[in-house]
Amino acid sequence: MEINLIGKKALIGASSTGIGAGIARVLASCGASVTLASRSEEKLKHTLESLDTSKGQRHQYILVDYNDHEAYKVKIDDYFQSNKVDILVNNSNGPQAGTIDQKNLADYQNAFELLFQNHCYTTSCALPYMLANRYGRVINVSSSTVKEPVSNLVLSNTIRTALISWSKSLSDDVAKDGITVNSILTGLFDTERIQSLTNLDAQRLGISYEEALQLRLKQVPAARLGKPEEYGYLVAFICSEYANYLTGTNIPLDGGMLKGL
């Protein structure tokens, strides 16, 4: 089975490093033209240089700050004035860790803009072309915590669950138009986000980083962190013609970490 995305254009959020960059590299290797999006121009340029161009693709990047929703909308509006996409990967940095007693209403509002409004708005900009073309892929980089909440990630647990519900409703509306909408429930991947959260665990427990990491890995039957490129392989399949009938799903990608059926 060969995945061919030649001629397809993809916009991938938070793609200067980590999972977003892993997705970008795999989609580019399948022939897609990729637009990277992040706030670090230096990292974007580095990732852009690593993308495959052997199939005539033309890649680019845009600078966006997911933590400033109003400014983000301006940048996205400007992007869609001259660009259309077949594949939209909704992804952003996560909100700060913390428990219920550590967060206030302003924190929830900021997380809502970061993880919900940004993605809903970007999707609304991408949909008209997808509808006209009768093809589209909307993929949300979500988290396994929507199924099994983690107490110190209350903002992420809460807002990502709202996006999952919205996405299910959207998938029902656009399935007849050849557009699929799926969410990936992310486990523990080798990214800066996991490194940061593991450092917080180490400080809280008074242990070394390596000890804290091993505590995390005890939750994973595969006994390791996932690789960003492995994430990209799943996204590439969802984007392909082989997944035309796959929509409205929440797919765990976590090395077996989720315990529920």
Q: Which CATH number belongs to the domain containing residue 14 in this structure? A: 3.40.50.720
256: in domain: no
259: in domain: no
Low-confidence stretches of the chain (pLDDT < 70) are none
145: in domain: yes
134 and 214 housed in the same domain: no
pTM for this entry:
0.95
| Residue 83 half-sphere exposure toward CB, CA atoms < 13 A | 26
32: in domain: yes
Query: Cβ contacts of residue 241 below 8 Å, gap of 6+?
Result: none
132 and 33 housed in the same domain: yes
143 and 38 housed in the same domain: yes
With CA atoms as reference, report the closest residue to 195 among 184, 209, 182: 209
Structure tokens belonging to residue 228: 């960003």
89 and 211 housed in the same domain: no
Number of domains in the chain: 2
Crossing angle of helices 154-174 and 105-112, in 10° steps, is 40
83 and 150 housed in the same domain: yes
197 and 246 housed in the same domain: no
With CA atoms as reference, report the closest residue to 175 among 127, 142, 141, 140: 127
pLDDT at position 260 is 87
Residue 67 exposed, middle or buried by CB count within 10 Å (0-12, 13-18, 19+): middle
47: in domain: yes
200: in domain: yes
Which residues form the domain of 29?
9-187+227-251
194 and 91 housed in the same domain: no
Query: Cβ contacts of residue 236 below 8 Å, gap of 6+?
Result: 3, 5, 26, 27, 30
82 and 171 housed in the same domain: yes
17: in domain: yes
132 and 242 housed in the same domain: yes
183 and 193 housed in the same domain: no
pLDDT at position 193 is 86
Q: Mapping DSSP to helix (H, G, I), strand (E, B) and coil, where does residue 182 land? A: strand
206 and 135 housed in the same domain: no
* 223-254 pLDDT, tens digit each: 999 999 999 999 999 999 999 999 999 999 99
Q: Which residues pair with 137 in a beta bridge?
A: 87, 180
Structure tokens belonging to residue 40: 């670090």
183: in domain: yes
199 and 245 housed in the same domain: no
